[in-house]
Amino acid sequence: MTLLAKLRCITVDVTGTLLAYKGELGDYYCMAAKSVGLPCPDYKRVHEGFKLAYSNTAKKHPCFGHSDKMPNIVWWKTCVRDSFLRAGYDYNEDTFEKVFKPMYAMFGSSAPYTIFPDSQPFLRWARKNGLKVGIVSNAKYRYQDVILPALGLNQGTEWDFGVFSGLEGVEKPNPKIYEIALEKAGNVVPEEALHIGDSMRQDYLPATSVGMHALLLDRFKTPDANNWRQSGAPVLDDLVAAQEWLTFGNRTC
- Mean pLDDT value across residues 34-53: 94
Q: Report pLDDT for 140.
A: 79
Global pTM value: 0.92
Average pLDDT, the chain: 94
**How would residue 121 be classed by pLDDT, with cut points 50, 70 and 90?**
very high
The arrangement of strands across the sheet holding 213-217 comes to: 161-164, 132-137, 9-12, 193-197, 213-217, 235-236
**How would residue 253 be classed by pLDDT, with cut points 50, 70 and 90?**
very low
Are 163 and 177 in contact, with CB atoms under 8 Å apart? yes
**How would residue 84 be classed by pLDDT, with cut points 50, 70 and 90?**
very high
Q: Report pLDDT for 251.
A: 42
Ranges of each domain in the chain = 3-20+114-248, 25-108
Q: Can you say whether the dihedral through the CA atoms of 148, 153, 154, 155 is positive or negative?
A: negative
Domain formed by 3-20+114-248, architecture: 3-Layer(aba) Sandwich (3.40)
Q: Report pLDDT for 250.
A: 54
25-108: what fold?
A: DNA polymerase; domain 1 (1.10.150)
Are 246 and 125 in contact, with CB atoms under 8 Å apart? no
- Mean pLDDT value across residues 73-82: 96
Q: What angle do CA 220, 5, 152 make, to 5 degrees?
A: 45
Q: Report pLDDT for 142.
A: 85
Instruction: Report H helices in the chain.
Output: 3-6, 25-35, 43-60, 62-65, 72-87, 93-107, 119-128, 141-142, 148-150, 165-168, 176-184, 205-209, 224-230, 239-244
pLDDT tens digits along 160-192: 999 999 999 999 999 999 999 999 999 999 999
pLDDT tens digits along 130-163: 999 999 999 877 888 899 999 999 999 999 999 9
- Mean pLDDT value across residues 72-100: 95
Three-class secondary structure of residue 46 per DSSP: helix
CA 122 to chain centre: 17
Q: Which of 27-41, 111-125, 195-209 has the lowest mean pLDDT?
A: 27-41
Q: Report pLDDT for 139.
A: 87
Is the model's pLDDT at 252 over the cut of 50?
Answer: no
